[in-house]
Amino acid sequence: MQTTIQLKHEKVTIDLSQPIDISLAVQDNAGVGAWYIDQPQIKHVEVDGYVGNVKLGGSTNFNNVHFNPHSHGTHTECIGHITEQFYSVNKALDKTFFKAQIFSVEPDKQGEDQVITPQHFQDLKSGVEAIIIRTLPNGEQKNSKNYSNTNPPYILEETMIRFRESGIKHILIDLPSVDKEKDNGALLAHKAFWDFNGDQRLDATITEFIYVPDTVGDGLYMIDLQVAPLENDAAPSRPILYKIL
């Protein structure tokens, strides 16, 4: 089923029957993880003789889910992630469809680090509001890797400044953070993108822990950035891509 979306300066036609899901789900005691905490726990409720598990004789499956949005699965965060004042990601988006561009990036070596630089994005197209970063190599181990104490690649501050100055509102990446794992709380990439020390961008978001399969080529797409309605600085999300016809 085709539909046409009116953007600020153009109309874009997509096929809604061919969605491309680039999210990673929260799983019980499994899945991707980071930030030195245990894996998620999904466990049935037991209260006053009721057992929330059909296999154990209950009438329904009724589970509690214990997880951290930043550590487990695909999540989207707003500037509230780094501010004293509370800002909710649930209020950050007044629309969900954006023109996006996928870049496959092999990070550069910088000492013991791997970094993503402005030079990786020289082919940035006009009208793009969201950048989707697939880091190379792109093995499926990304779907279950625990990144704690691994010093993953990260985005340089000057790269985020370029994104901000280019009008990019949404960054999506297949890593646990846009910043260096251990940076003594500097958070240079987050702060640069959200203009933390300037005109703070309350409508800009960062989405981490996506996974873009190799079958999805680089280039332009429409993205439907669906975020769970949770009043928090970050929430689980399900970004869906559509090819532009």
pLDDT of res. 1: 84
The DSSP symbol for 120 reads: G
Domain assignment present for 165:
yes
Domain assignment present for 63:
no
Question: What is the chain's Cα-based Rg?
Answer: 19
pLDDT of res. 6: 87
**How far apart, in Å, are the Cα atoms of 133 and each of 2, 126, 181, 235?**
26, 17, 18, 20
Domain assignment present for 105:
yes
- Residues 74 and 205: beta-carbon distance below 8 Å: no
Domain assignment present for 209:
yes
Domain assignment present for 177:
yes
**Measured distance CA(245)–CA(12) in Å, rounded:** 8
**14-67 confidence digits (pLDDT tens):** 999 999 999 999 999 999 999 999 999 999 999 999 999 999 999 999 999 999
Domain assignment present for 54:
no
For residue 145 the two structure tokens come to 């890797």
pLDDT of res. 137: 96
Domain assignment present for 206:
yes
Q: Provide the domain count of the chain.
A: 1
Q: What is the 3-state secondary structure (H, E, C) of the chain?
A: CEEEEECCCCEEEEECCCCEECCCCCECCECCECCCCCCCEEEECEECCEECCHHHCCCCCCEEEECCCCCCCCEEECHHHCCCCCCCHHHCCCCCEEEEEEEEECCEEECCEEEECHHHHCCCCCCCCEEEEEECCCCHHHHCCECCCCCCCEECHHHHHHHHHCCCCEEEECCCCCCCCCCCCCCHHHHHHHCCCCCCCCCCEEEECCCCCCCCCCEEEEEEEEECCCCCCEEEEEEEEEEEC
pLDDT of res. 9: 82
- Residue ranges in the chain assigned as alpha helix (H): 157-165, 188-194
Burial class (CB in 10 A: 0-12, 13-18, 19+), 211: middle
| 10: CATH | 3.50.30.50
Domain assignment present for 173:
yes
For residue 234 the two structure tokens come to 């970050």
Question: What's the domain range around 88?
Answer: 2-24+69-243
| Residues in the chain where the model's pLDDT stays below 50 | none
